[in-house]
Amino acid sequence: MHTQLCAIKGSRDGLVVTISDASQFAAVLDALEQQLIASESFFQGSTAKLMVRQGSLSAEQLDAIERLINRYGMHLDRRPPNWGLAPNREPQDSEEKGAVEDNTLLVKRTIRSGQRLHYDGNVVVMGDVNPGAEIVCTGDILVLGSLRGVAHAGAEGKIDAIVFAFRLEPTQLRIAHLISRAPDEKLPQPQGPEIARVVGDRIQLSVYNH
């Protein structure tokens, strides 16, 4: 992933569509649609607010965004995020910054084969990640089930990102720029949840201890 004109982020205020430069609206609209396509039905039924960091949107442009996200089963709340700031300003104190930086998407379903989820933040899955499914995110990945697909945490280079699962059997596991593939031989059943993190210059899997 790279710096985007548009990003869908989770915050304590719910989902927020963050637009970095409203003057490039055509590119913003295209970037938003690409994220909605990549996320498939994960945002379906949710409501999102808009935050514009540079420039402003006309009523016609707001209508265009609303029509687009409606096509993917989402709703637009035109009120700005509840950060006590103008829509085109970023939070300044540490508590408010947490609302932007601590982005976590909760997925309350199993991710099936062929489904791909790309997210700017952390991803928590209450279910399994089946073989043939893929999760790519800039933060941590937590799976409250079995992870048997492809998982890429810390996709923008966050080397301290982790991947956690009740059973960790990915076909491919990546953290930042490092890659770990599934072993050829069958390993013994672990005695508890597992966690993957970077140790030295490789990804290490271990049983999770509180």
Write out pLDDT tens, residues 88-117: 344 443 333 333 345 788 888 899 898 888
Q: What is the DSSP string of the chain?
A: ----SEEEEEETTEEEEEES-GGGHHHHHHHHHHHHHHTTTTTTT-EEEEEESSS---HHHHHHHHHHHHHTT-EEE-SPPSSSS-TTS---SHHHHHHHH--EEEE-SPBPTT-EEEESSEEEESS-B-TT-EEEESS-EEEEEEE-SEEEESTTT-TT--EEEEEE--SEEEETTEEEEPPSSPPPPPSS-EEEEEETTEEEEEE---
Predicted local confidence at residue 159, as pLDDT? 94
Instruction: Domain 6-100: state its class.
Output: alpha beta
7-46 pLDDT, tens per residue? 877 655 567 888 888 899 999 999 888 888 877 666 777 7
CATH of domain 104-207: 2.160.20.70
Structural domain boundaries of the chain?
6-100, 104-207
The structure's pTM equals 0.60
Mean pLDDT of 180-206: 78
Quote the percentage of the chain above a pLDDT of 90. 37
Q: With 60 as the cut, is the pLDDT of residue 182 above it? A: yes
